[in-house]
A and B are shown apart, each in its own frame.
Chain A
Amino acid sequence: MDEQHKVTVDAQRAPVIEPGYTFGSVTEKISAIVLTRPASNGWFLGFGVAFTLTMMMLYAVGYLVLKGIGIWGVTIPIGWGFAIVNFVWWIGIGHAGTLISAILLLLRQSWRNAINRFAEAMTLFAVACAGIFPTIHVGRPWLAYWLFPYPSTMGVWPQFRSPLMWDVFAVSTYGTISLLFWFIGLIPDLATLRDRSENRLAKIIYGMLSMGWRGSARHWHRYETAYLLLAGLATPLVLSVHTVVSFDFAVGIVPGWHTTIFPPYFVAGAIYSGFAMVLMLAIPIRKIYGLEDFITERHLQNSAKVMLATGLIVAYGYGIEAFMGWYSGDRYDAFTMWNRLHGPYAPAYGALLICNIFIPQVLWIRKLRTNPIALFLVSGVILVGM
């Protein structure tokens, strides 16, 4: 559209798309990845690795269900560990997708268009991964459905004062909205694929998924409206989901958890790690599929800036935690902080500070913000840190 042309000619800023493309050539290039590009050995290798890991996960989960969660190291006094850490981490990852698709859409940040689709896909997978963990972390996973308010013949309801209950609603809402958002955004593209694919089966499948899209002005109008509405719905979720997740901790009276900084600090952390994940995915994808023209330095740089900003909020959160440990005068809080710095997990906490606060500060250097390899490494460090 107009805007796009404007951007491409704006010499002051790096372009969101390299010059010389038309709608046609963009469509051609992208749909070719799906429709005509043969599956390479590299693809099979990647799929093989992913498949193996998935099978390992299924094996591990099977063993867990058979033996009990005692196979993890979790114990009293803090009965949560591996699974809940993973849950929070994956939910956080998902946030970048929603942020990119919803908030940036509302803010008319058109540079988002090149990365929103896979960021949304990433969100969906992240939510799916996140959903696995609370299910398998409970002592009796086969009864985890009791957390849902379903019409039970026993006449019992979940206990609505529990933050875990709020989690169920937050995460399931989040999953639903993310799925709808991703799917509605995908409809015109599915139609394009339907029109271009030569395989009959693909035509049928794409045809069904594109829900009769014909690209008429009325379709476009409705599409834009629905998309905007969903964006409006999804926007508060960016803030609310991780806020609710943080309530799991903040509502408890455990020293070190019971603090009001958690919601903003969790949200910032989520966006922080989410963008790191977006970059981790975008950088190889643009290289492998030759999409440097569409995912440009501008995208990388913007993502890096978001990371820098949210990273500083996270740093502030860490600082406040430490400060409150001292300022509250509560000996339990003070000890929790002391124990983090000097206790058995001190090396882990040190690594967390280095990965999440100190190393990402290199993003202040413009040169590194535009260097895909450096960005890839920094993103990796952040993801480890989170």
Chain B
Amino acid sequence: MKMDEPNKVGLRENKREDVCPSKKGKLDLKSVRAQIEQAADEKTGPEYWRSLEELAGSADFQEALHREFPKGASEWVDSVSRRGFLKVMGASLGLAGMIGCVRLPLEPIVPYVRQPEEVIPGRPMFYATAVTLGGYASPVLVESHLGRPTKIEGNDQHPASLGGTDIFAQASILTMYDPDRSQSVMSMGDQRSWQSFLTAMRGPLNAQKALQGVGIRILTPSISSPTLADQLRNFLKVYPQAKWHVYEPLNRDNRLEGAKLPFGEPVETRYNLEAADVIISLDADFLYAGFPGNVRYIRDFAKRRNPEDNMNRLYVIESTPSSTGAKADHRLPLRAVDIEWFARALAGALGLDAGVPDLTGEVAKHADFLAGLVRDLEAHGGASVVLAGDPQPPVVHALAHAINAKLGNVGKTLFYGDPVDANPVNQAESMKDLVADMRGGKVDLLVILGGNPAYDAPADLDFADLLKSNKVSLRVHLGLYQNETADLSHWHVNQTHELEAWGDARAYDGTVSIIQPLIAPLYNGKSAHEFVALLSGQADATGYDLVRGYWQKQQSGGDFEAFWRKSLHDGWIEGTAFTSKQVGTKANHLPLATKLDENALELNIRRDPTVYAGQFSNNGWLQELPKPMTKLTWDNAALIGPKMAGRLEIKTEDVVELELNGRKVTGPVWIQAGHPDNSVTVFVGYGRRRAGRVGTALGFDAYSLRTTAAPWFATGLQIRKTGETYKLASTQGYQTMDTPNGDTRPLVRETTLEEYRKEPSFAKEEEPAPGLTLYQPYPYKEEDYAWGMTIDLNSCVGCNNCMLACQSENNIAVVGKEQTVIGRHMHWLRVDAYYQGDRDNPKAFFQPVPCMHCENAPCEVVCPVGATNHSSEGLNDMVYNRCVGTRYCSNNCPYKVRRFNFFLFQDWETPQYKMMRNPDVSVRSRGVMEKCTYCVQRINERRIDAEREDRKINDSQHADELQTACQQSCPAAAIIFGNINDPNSKVSKLKAEARNYSLLGELNTRPRTTYLAEVSNPNPELKS
């Protein structure tokens, strides 16, 4: 089973050089390896060597090259590991110079259900694994082409995904291939070998062993991995005086403390939104990536948005306009500090003792709203749910628990269970303790296991300065990047990405997924498991052995091999989900209310919607992904409401100085409709000092205003205009189809449920008769297939998943901020946001716009070279090779979905990106037009399957076998694609619905993509 390590040697040397091993040859001789490591040791220092041959040009090496693949050659007959076959084939082809870059992990990983009979080059394999964010696993399927992972999709069998994904999971593939990732062990700015690190650690660890590890501190981010937690606990057994600290900048301390208040134990709440008729969000952005379980919650929420069914109703009380707020039937913008008062008033109105006798302050102005909300809740006892957001203080969480209990929701719409975090401590306190110990000189060896505390630790702890001050004699950092923390550490070890190493992690419901590597580590990094094993004295333990060993211990009895294979194959381990827990409630647990300054200016610190806490700073896809409400890219900004902007005479892009308790930061302003007054929102994750070529020095660092006392919001902010301006790159308003003063027929159509019942086809309008064209209409009805798409605006939550899925599937380039500013971004699919009504609290709508694949496509008739044509199945095809780039088609496209390569936007040089691209999609060059193809490569792949089996695509036995990338990633199942010539297909049925309408149909373009109009479900009592 265990193969030797044939690939590893070839990897270490790939510094800035080509990582394609085909150019290096396949190396696996131990002697060569030793030789190289020796050479690496000798050549310490920042100098990179140019090639492996330069390093090890010996006879042994030549021999190794000649023998190609001595150890793997006999391997492939074993049916268990058919990567052996791949490997041999890859090696041969690689050496023949025909194909390169097959880099397979060493241990057997088990392919997912679409496992072909035999490996066919050109056919991808799918593997189930997981990627994590804040410790929570996103269960995913990874598409792999000949050993190169190319795309991440949701695992449709997993209860936390059901096929959907989130943007961070999808974009992690770009992080994995990021050429700026840390590529070697570093010490004080010099490149070192793993061996020299081992040697360096031996002394201090031995010294600590005698002291029971009293000087050892381990700092990790939130960890849900059972194996890693077990390893760390075992380590603490060996070093009983050592301490394990946890700090995650976007931690869930409030939720933890909020559960401890009533229940006395750190239980975690999980929701069943499908059962909820009324949903109240108290600053909880639960329909966006980063909220644990968001993918599942979006699916459950969207299921209940069908106006033909029993529609749910969403109330959002929030301090920062979010995509969740945009979906609300009733939205109330309040300062974050006011939300506690609103929650108390709500609890009071429901008959709970919430410590506020009367409505006060800002909340008093919304007495009607509150009264209507209360009656609605009372009418839906047991079928309602109140969610509190992470930024809200523990008391709001406690109030939410009390309200849910009072309404009888517990056990119906929400459940309590064990926390996913393996070490559920108050992370701010944990960090404070660590810093106190470091100040006190009690720490001799600080091990930072991932994370970037030098950048994201609370500002009042001065963590970076403390690292600089040499109070800790040995600081070790394991990380994906040589970031701010690595700079201040004595040793930095390059970490493997989750797609390169073995591991495990829990999803929001506790289900464990085994993380399988899809590729051998690109830069020969170490996983956290291997790193902790080293600390525990098992320097040679591999991640595979560690993870497998842990589960072998858990699985006493039974056929472990079958269990292991099944778990890998499915992507999750059966029976690991946390069960619902009965919790006791303490009496009088609510802290007293403190006095509130009604007009104080508030600073609201939030996670960034695209770079999260800053760990995705160097990810171009996420940087260029427009943030859902502002549509800002490449920057953060200080968001303020229109009222406040008017009062302070501040415009968008004015640079202001924000001062909170003597800490200052300057940044540009973005005026955001619907932002509450007297409040400023800033996103963390920008202002990185050492992120990489993409992410360094973008935006401003909001962490510098963040303290342990007020991690999320605080009043007492001062804002001053500096008189400067700063250009922001917002895609809102580019490719606009509408007019600012358009007053007749909007492009996004919506009504209320009440109106919908009276007039279901309100969105329809008369379209020109079919034959009304100069050219002979094509008989599409006679074809086998006529592809079409519907996008349900009611389900769409603006999560941006479709944009990233499209970018990954179709090799779409990143263009950078300068080009985005002038409107040259390349996304084939964009999500337009529309606002309606009062600027201080508008309704907001999302509308994803891919190519419409018009039957009378205006782009086609104007192309002078015929580079864009219609297929018989109704696809508007683009022939890149024929395109000369007149851009006439783009001028003539009423939907503005065509994208032009004004420069050579694609990176044709970086070898990592060559490996990442989808081999089924052309990589476009400069000067050609490109656009959405309805994922024609997927259609054709399925067509081949179907024709070989003499059946039709998506027939009854193969429903949903064909999905476009956007459809597949959509957690809300808002995008449906299929054959409109088949009256029984999902898409045909949706197109027959009353809500179905065409965008700009009056132009007689006859678009194949149509929309289902939005229907909101406002409380009849609260008509405004």
Whether B887 contacts A156 by the Cβ 8 Å rule is no
Of the listed residues A137, A147, A161, the one surrounded by the most CB atoms of chain B closer than 10 A to its CB is A161
Q: How many residue pairs between the two chains, A and B, have CB atoms under 8 Å in the bound complex?
A: 131
- A253: chain B residues at CB < 8 Å are 858, 892, 894, 1003
Which A320-372 residues have C-beta < 8 A from chain B? 331-332, 334-335, 338
- Known contacts A70-B819, A70-B903; A252/B862 CB under 8 A: yes
Residue-wise interface mask of B (857-889) relative to A, using a CB-CB cutoff of 8 A (1 in contact, 0 not): 010011111100000000000000011111110
Q: Is the interface of B mostly helix, strand, loop or mixed?
A: loop
Considering only CB atoms, which chain B residue lies closest to A147 in the complex? B864
- A338: chain B residues at CB < 8 Å are 741
Contact pick for B927, options A80, A139, A158, A161, CB 8 Å:
A139
Question: Once bound together, how far apart are the Cα atoms of A84 and B432, in whole Å?
Answer: 64
Of the listed residues B882, B885, B890, B1003, the one surrounded by the most CB atoms of chain A closer than 10 A to its CB is B885
Within the complex, what minimum Cβ distance (angstroms) separates B48 from chain A? 30
Whether A331 contacts B927 by the Cβ 8 Å rule is no
Question: Once bound together, how far apart are the Cα atoms of A163 and B864, in whole Å?
Answer: 7
Cβ of B16 within 8 Å of any chain A Cβ, yes or no, is no
Question: Once bound together, how far apart are the Cα atoms of A261 and B520, in whole Å?
Answer: 66
Cβ of A146 within 8 Å of any chain B Cβ, yes or no, is yes
Residue-wise interface mask of A (117-157) relative to B, using a CB-CB cutoff of 8 A (1 in contact, 0 not): 00000000000000000000111100110110000000011
- Known contacts A70-B824, A79-B890, A253-B894; A335/B742 CB under 8 A: yes
Considering only CB atoms, which chain B residue lies closest to A161 in the complex? B861
Question: Once bound together, how far apart are the Cα atoms of A248 and B734, in whole Å?
Answer: 23
- A79: chain B residues at CB < 8 Å are 887-888, 890-891, 900
Count of chain B residues with Cβ under 8 Å from any Cβ of A?
45
Whether A76 contacts B864 by the Cβ 8 Å rule is no
Contact pick for A163, options B823, B862, B894, CB 8 Å:
B862
- B892: chain A residues at CB < 8 Å are 252-254
Cβ of A201 within 8 Å of any chain B Cβ, yes or no, is no
- Known contacts A76-B900, A144-B884; A332/B861 CB under 8 A: no
- Known contacts A76-B734, A139-B927, A164-B864; A68/B902 CB under 8 A: yes
Within the complex, what minimum Cβ distance (angstroms) separates B131 from chain A? 33
Count of chain A residues with Cβ under 8 Å from any Cβ of B?
40
Cβ of A251 within 8 Å of any chain B Cβ, yes or no, is yes
Whether A162 contacts B926 by the Cβ 8 Å rule is no
Which B607-660 residues have C-beta < 8 A from chain A? none
Cβ of A14 within 8 Å of any chain B Cβ, yes or no, is no
Considering only CB atoms, which chain B residue lies closest to A137 in the complex? B886
Cβ of A12 within 8 Å of any chain B Cβ, yes or no, is no
- Known contacts A68-B927, A164-B862; A76/B739 CB under 8 A: no
Within the complex, what minimum Cβ distance (angstroms) separates A230 from chain B? 29
Question: Once bound together, how far apart are the Cα atoms of A331 and B744, in whole Å?
Answer: 8
Considering only CB atoms, which chain B residue lies closest to A69 in the complex? B902
Residue-wise interface mask of A (162-203) relative to B, using a CB-CB cutoff of 8 A (1 in contact, 0 not): 111100100000000000000000000000000000000000
- Known contacts A161-B861, A162-B863; A147/B884 CB under 8 A: yes
Cβ of A218 within 8 Å of any chain B Cβ, yes or no, is no
Residue-wise interface mask of B (501-542) relative to A, using a CB-CB cutoff of 8 A (1 in contact, 0 not): 000000000000000000000000000000000000000000
Whether A138 contacts B866 by the Cβ 8 Å rule is no
- B823: chain A residues at CB < 8 Å are 75-77
- Known contacts A139-B926, A253-B1003, A332-B739; A69/B885 CB under 8 A: yes
- B910: chain A residues at CB < 8 Å are none
Contact pick for B865, options A67, A78, A147, CB 8 Å:
A147
Cβ of B904 within 8 Å of any chain A Cβ, yes or no, is yes
Contact pick for A140, options B884, B890, B894, CB 8 Å:
B884
Whether A76 contacts B735 by the Cβ 8 Å rule is yes
- A69: chain B residues at CB < 8 Å are 885, 902, 927
Cβ of A159 within 8 Å of any chain B Cβ, yes or no, is yes
- A332: chain B residues at CB < 8 Å are 739
Considering only CB atoms, which chain B residue lies closest to A146 in the complex? B865
- A251: chain B residues at CB < 8 Å are 861-862
- A24: chain B residues at CB < 8 Å are none
Whether B885 contacts A139 by the Cβ 8 Å rule is yes
- A67: chain B residues at CB < 8 Å are 903
- B898: chain A residues at CB < 8 Å are 76
Whether A80 contacts B891 by the Cβ 8 Å rule is yes
Question: Once bound together, how far apart are the Cα atoms of A126 and B883, in whole Å?
Answer: 28
Question: Once bound together, how far apart are the Cα atoms of A47 and B182, in whole Å?
Answer: 59
Lowest 3 CB-CB distances: which A-B pairs, in order?
A: A139-B885, A139-B927, A79-B887
Q: A75-B822, A248-B888 are in contact. List 12 more A-B contacts (CB 8 A).
A: A68-B926, A70-B819, A74-B902, A78-B891, A79-B891, A80-B891, A146-B865, A156-B866, A252-B891, A253-B1003, A331-B744, A335-B740
8 contacts between A and B (CB under 8 A): A68-B903, A68-B927, A77-B891, A80-B887, A139-B884, A139-B900, A147-B864, A251-B861
